[in-house]
Amino acid sequence: MKKYFIILSSFGLLTTSFLQTGCKKGYLDSYPKNNLTEESYYKTEGDFNNAVNAVYDAWQSDRLLNFFPMADIATPFAGYGSSRFGQYDNGIFGITDGWQMGREFWEGWYKVVFRANLVLDNIDKPGLTLDKKVYDRVKGEALFLRALTYFHLTYLYGDVPLVTRVLKFEEQQVSRDPHAKVVEQIINDLKTAETLLPSVTEYRSNKSMLGRASRGAAKSLLGKVYVYEKKWPEAEAKFNEIVNIDKEYDLEPNFLDLFWPQTENGKESIFEIQYQSGLKEGNSIVRFCAPDVRSQIQTAGFGYITPTEYYLDQFETVNGYAVNSTFVKREAGKVANFNYTFTYASNDPAYDATKPYEKRDPRLAWTAWYENTPYITEFQKRTGQSGVKYIQDYSFENGHNTVKYIIGKLDPSAGDSPGNLILIRFADVLLLYAETLIENNKLGDAVALINRVRQRPSVNMPTVEQVSTARGENISGDKALLKKYLMQERYRELAFEWGHMYMDQVRWDVFADEMVNFWTAKKYGGNNPALGSFDKKHYLWPIPAEERSRNPKLSQNDGY
């Protein structure tokens, strides 16, 4: 199944020709064929379906989507990213305006903006007759995808060019627009999109359409924007619609099912990027994050995203007590990397420090590989493999690799995965709603939502109230303590999925302190100096040098 898409310049504002490429799950069965121009195209339902599919395709593009989960490497919770997200490693800040990923994300996201604007510029042209249902869906999808793109652009780069129509060649050198103006446009786009898009329940009854943006996706992203902007009453009202009025989503009972191709687009999924078997470019996060042990876990892997022991400490004992590790030594491993020794401590009387990962929150084993992990049994069952093992020095750093999205030899190509990438899921929404309620001083309601996430059947961790009792702390009744606990719950639940931890730490303004506190000298036996300080100007990424050379009207962020 093929479709034709528009090739774009790096800034995403020029049309030059059409490109044939693959698509996902029945979105498209026909394509434009000969002598295409904007005047001869954008006439039929098929034309607009093709055009909006091209917007999705831009979100699927190599590195734009595939690599963004590696943003969590920037935090003290994981390491190793080579020239991509490794610039924060070893107590050294190394990002410049020539940073590879900063440039590639900018270019890729502006391709999305351009393609969305093509749809929006043409769908309201006089004389066009489209079925209203098709018109609403296509326009709503284009608005949602443009808003999703600008969400990432403005919260990562700050002020960015706000382009809401296809620009002529002579118009393309544009300056940056204020963050507030960009956010206003995002909100307006999403408010309109939620009135146009169908319910996810409609898509669930039509599998060929499943995966498209729905009304719930627009509402969820709008609620998230309100949270980022600290518009707490607006956020509460929007999340209340999703959770208590619409009731279209629920938690997946088995946490692990969220990250396997066989169970994608489930009832917890609000928006995920679609991939399938046999595509030249699938979900390559698998290829880059799996350990480089070709006869074992994955057929190929580069070992990016190596969770730190400090991150594993976020996972409580099954009785709700904290666990703290202390580094002892690093030694050469049996394969090529290192083995790490830590001591562990917890106030839980049932915790055995000689078996540090036993009797812990089940999500630990479903998030990070560690020696003797019980996850191997489940992994072999799902993949049909046997003889799988994991040892510390499979990891390039820290003694761990990530588990999420790693599907073993289900992928016969040994490269990209057919598994989808989740951008928004219901647990994320529940925890954002809980955060909103904490800020609005409705602690009891917030606690109930956190408990709902913690107590899905496969996880079944103690309630916040039970944790408060066990620890002798008033977590459930103290606003500051509950906010801190909510932050930790987001770390436990959402790590290494879509950059949630990194973006959360920046918006909470804890990133700088976390970096300084973690990066003490010779961390985990390395040779790094102590970080000492972290300039909060670096919360924003640099405007790429190549973009500024092409467009002198683009100013640079402070600190670069």
**Amino acid 275: pLDDT:** 87
Q: Which CA distances in Å does 502 have to 127, 173, 241, 511?
A: 47, 31, 27, 8
Task: State the pLDDT confidence band at 156, using cuts at 50, 70 and 90.
Answer: very high
In this predicted structure, the answer to whether residue 401 has a pLDDT above a threshold of 60 is yes
In this predicted structure, the answer to whether residue 436 has a pLDDT above a threshold of 90 is yes
In this structure, are residues 406 and 299 in contact, taking their beta carbons and an 8 Å threshold? no
Residue reference for tokens 């707490």: 232
Lowest mean pLDDT among 115-129, 283-297, 459-473: 283-297
pLDDT in tens, 230-243: 999 999 999 999 99
Residue of 54, 63, 69 whose CA lies nearest to 100: 63
Distance from the first to the final alpha carbon of the chain: 45
What residues have CB less than 8 Å from 481, skipping those under 6 apart? 473, 474, 475
User: Which is it for strands 2-8 and 15-22: parallel, antiparallel or unpaired?
Assistant: antiparallel
Residue of 506, 509, 438, 512 whose CA lies nearest to 478: 438
**Amino acid 30: pLDDT:** 33
Helices (H), 440-520: 443-454, 464-471, 479-494, 500-507, 511-518
Residue reference for tokens 């480089």: 292
What residue type is 162 in one-letter code? L
Task: State the pLDDT confidence band at 293, using cuts at 50, 70 and 90.
Answer: confident
What residues have CB less than 8 Å from 353, skipping those under 6 apart? 343, 344, 345, 346
Q: Kindly list the structural domains of the chain, giving each domain's residue range(s) and its CATH number in brackets, ordered by start.
A: 2-197+542-550 (1.25.40.390), 285-419 (no CATH), 427-519 (no CATH)
In this structure, are residues 368 and 222 in contact, taking their beta carbons and an 8 Å threshold? no
Angstrom distance (rounded) from CA 309 to CA 79: 11
**Amino acid 288: pLDDT:** 84
At 324, list the tokens: 């703290």
In this predicted structure, the answer to whether residue 38 has a pLDDT above a threshold of 70 is no
In this structure, are residues 446 and 437 in contact, taking their beta carbons and an 8 Å threshold? yes
- Residue 261 is classified by DSSP as G
pLDDT in tens, 96-135: 999 888 999 999 999 999 999 999 999 999 989 899 999 9
Count Cβ atoms within 10 A of the Cβ of residue 67 and give its class: 0-12 exposed, 13-18 middle, 19 or more buried. Answer: buried
pLDDT in tens, 256-270: 999 999 999 999 999
- pTM: predicted TM-score of the whole model, two decimal places: 0.93
Task: State the pLDDT confidence band at 513, using cuts at 50, 70 and 90.
Answer: very high
